[in-house]
Amino acid sequence: MSKIISSILMMIKNNMLSFIHFLLVLIVINLFSTDEYEWMVASGDVDSLCSLPLGGRDGEEVFLIIVIPFILSLFFTKNKKIRYLYLSVATLYLFWSFYWRFQWC
């Protein structure tokens, strides 16, 4: 009985660690994809992202070099369904936050 409990606890620990890593990936993407002038949208000075001044994000390429290995480290998640879910969400969020939200301007 104790082997079953210890294996369940180990599985929960592994899943929680991968979930915390996944959340950290999303937070890092959000921090680096924020435009320098996005505060103007929230304050009401500008109507949309399309009205922001150009050149607000510095070092986008450097960030992508840093975040791509961070996302690829999600491959070490043992559960395949969770692994592919985390990778899909992180990749879609990365593309949306850096590229797709500015495509309709």
pTM metric for this prediction: 0.68
pLDDT tens digits, 1-18:
677 777 777 777 777 888
Helix, strand, coil share (%) of the chain residues, nearest 5: 75, 0, 25
In the chain the first and final C-alpha atoms are separated, in Å, by 60
Q: How many CB atoms lie within 10 A of CB 84?
A: 13
Calculate the average pLDDT of the chain: 75
The amino acid at 80: K
